[in-house]
Amino acid sequence: MPGQKPSSLLISAATFILLELAALLLLRSSSTLQNIWMNRASHRTMAFLWGSGETVRSQFQMDELNRSLQAENALLQERLRAYEALDMDREELARMAARNAANYRYTPATVVKMSRNRTHNYIILNKGSDDGIHPQSGIISDLGVVGVVQAVDKHYSYGLTLMNPQMSIGARIGGSELVAPLTWDGRHSGRALLSNLPPHFNVAPGDTVRTSGFSSIFPPDIPIGVTGGSRLVDGSTRQVDVELFQDFSRLRYVTVVENRDRAAIMALEAEGEVTR
């Protein structure tokens, strides 16, 4: 640069390289080391600073939320009555299902902070390790899958929502046995993509997409959304649009689900990796 000494140019260049390398290293580690103190402090600060915004936001949606809770309450009462009317055989079956679901622990939580229109969206909940929340627990709502807990503080937990490219969920279409990874389409808050389906697989629009239950995070058969159009990708796999049931802009209350057997499953998986 004219008028600039070579030594100062050298110092500028060295500082530039040093700072860019430092930024790259930080960026590289921030996505994997969610539990390092800096990230936990960041999540706590974000929850403290911006949490009130979500409260204000929710106040404006209170009427709708009440209506939704009333509808859910009515649905639950209806189900309860249906269960009460079951005969013994059916009850036995129902209890078997209940035992299966009992592998999961459910903890209600409130959204403290949530991003919606970024490339990498996240969620902060008001429950943490003191409330028994552990990393790699699922986050669901009455309308479907929300995300996965990545890191926990004493009083807060931080998770990635389905609207994050790092999130992928094993999903099943309708009554089929076929399981495919479901990821966010990256553009719309209410749309995701089911990928890697066989090209000959015919998908009828309007089929319900549910969790497969093959992961140790989510229980099986949690509704996620309905199928839309589909297309061939590179002539070898089929990709299906999924309209999500969950409207992320109206999310306030969620449930954290934790597979009680997750530690045992992970240990088995690790053992399998070693012996392979």
Question: Judged by CB under 8 A, does residue 31 bind other proteins?
Answer: yes
For position 66 contacting other proteins by CB under 8 A, the verdict is: no
Regarding 247 and contact with other proteins (CB under 8 A), the answer is: no
* Residue number with CB closer to other proteins (152 or 173): 152
Query: Among 5, 6, 7, 20, which residue interacts with other proteins (rule: CB under 8 A)?
Result: 20
Q: Which of 81, 99, 118, 200 binds other proteins (CB under 8 A)?
A: 118
Contact 172, 178 (CB under 8 A): yes
Residue 6 binds other proteins, judged by CB under 8 A: no
Question: Is 248 an interacting residue with respect to other proteins (CB under 8 A)?
Answer: no
Q: What phi and psi values does residue 4 have, to the nearest 5 degrees?
A: -110, 130
Which span sits near other proteins by CB under 8 A: 10-18, 69-77, 89-97, 206-214?
A: 10-18
175 binds other proteins (CB under 8 A): no
- β-pairing, 179-184 vs 191-197, is antiparallel
Alpha helix stretches (DSSP H) within 144-247: none
The verdict on 25 binding other proteins (CB under 8 A) reads yes
What is the DSSP code (8-state) at residue 240? E
Environment class of 118 (CB within 10 Å of its CB; exposed 0-12, middle 13-18, buried 19+): exposed
Q: Is 52 in the site for other proteins (CB under 8 A)?
A: no
CA angle, 256 then 224 then 200, to 5°: 140
For residue 182, CA distances in Å to 35, 164, 171, 186, 247 come to: 26, 11, 6, 12, 17
The closest alpha carbon to 139, from 8, 271, 255, 59, belongs to 255
Which amino acid, one-letter code, is at 93? L
Q: Which 3 state secondary structure label does DSSP give 123?
A: strand
Q: Is 23 in the site for other proteins (CB under 8 A)?
A: yes
Stretch that binds other proteins, among 111-119, 193-201, 250-258, 259-267 (CB under 8 A): 111-119
Of the candidates 67, 95, 120, 260, which one interacts with other proteins according to CB under 8 A? 120
Q: Which amino acid is at 224?
A: I
Binding-site member from 79, 90, 95, 116 for other proteins (CB under 8 A): 116
* List of residues contacting other proteins (CB under 8 A): 1-3, 8, 11-12, 15-16, 19-20, 22-31, 38-39, 41-43, 45-46, 49-50, 53, 115-120, 122, 158, 165, 186-187
